[in-house]
Amino acid sequence: MHTDDFFHYLSKGAIPPHLPESNEQNLVVIEAFLEAAKRYARGGYDVIVDGIIGPWFLKPWQSLVREHYEVHYIILRASKEETLKRAVERSKLDRKTNIELVETMWEQFCNLGIYESNVIDTTTYSIQETVSAVQEKIASKRTTLVEESELTHVAAPDNPTKEFENRQERFALYRAMQQLDAETREVIHLRLAGDFSFRDIGDILGHSEVWARVRFYRGKEKLVKIIGGDNNA
């Protein structure tokens, strides 16, 4: 499903989607192809939505997660030079405008923070190699989106041992960890004992970096409540 097709359906009053004043129009178009994608998915089809979708446009997709759809977010990104080469060859815009637009978009996608692990570098890939890489990402389930509310945990400070510095506190921590589910306990153990990064933990446990971060900080909140309850007993 090409998102560009939905923009082409607009005729009278259509605003080029890269302009700031097109935001309201773009949200309408996003809702349109989201509803179409959902209908195909409910019919039993796997749906691939192909378009320029940055993290700033993920909120509507995260709403699908709340509706129990499995949504993968995968970014195909080539080097800046290769991206410019491909875009200039196929764009209908004049060369100067197209180069400026592509450079702006590339800068927006060159550092995606927590979504960097969702990126596939296609600089030297053929179409078939790209397809295979996408299939591997989906099969690994490391690119699935989580609800927006859970991402607040991702931005939390990453200092797992500072709050449990002495032996007695660490003893209480590990005892409280036994009350957590197995996956959350393993994530926290890998952070505390192994000093692994969240990306490493995601790879070890077969999930994404975002999943590992969310598990860690949700588990940490539970531990604070458990330990606090023990202290008040």
Structural domains of the chain sorted by starting position, each given as residue range(s) with its CATH number in brackets: 3-152 (3.40.50.300), 160-228 (1.10.10)
pLDDT one digit per residue (tens) for the chain, 233 residues: 998 899 889 988 888 887 778 888 988 898 899 999 999 999 999 999 998 888 888 888 888 988 889 999 999 999 999 988 887 766 565 677 777 778 888 888 888 888 888 999 999 999 999 999 999 999 988 888 887 655 555 544 454 444 445 556 667 777 888 899 989 989 988 887 777 888 888 888 888 888 888 888 888 888 888 887 655 54
C-beta separation of 102 from 87 below 8 A? yes
pLDDT computed for residue 192 by the predictor: 77
- Residues 37-80: pLDDT tens digits? 999 999 999 999 998 888 888 888 888 988 889 999 999 999 99
Q: Pick from 105, 107, 50: which is nearest to 74 by CA?
A: 50
Q: What is the enclosing helix (H) or strand (E) of 1?
A: none
Mean pLDDT of the chain: 82
DSSP 125-176: --HHHHHHHHHHHHHHT-SB---GGGGGTTTS---SSTTS-SHHHHHHHHHH
Look up tokens 């560009």; give the residue: 4
Look up tokens 């700033």; give the residue: 56
Q: Which token pair is 197?
A: 């990064």
pLDDT computed for residue 149 by the predictor: 58
pLDDT computed for residue 193 by the predictor: 73
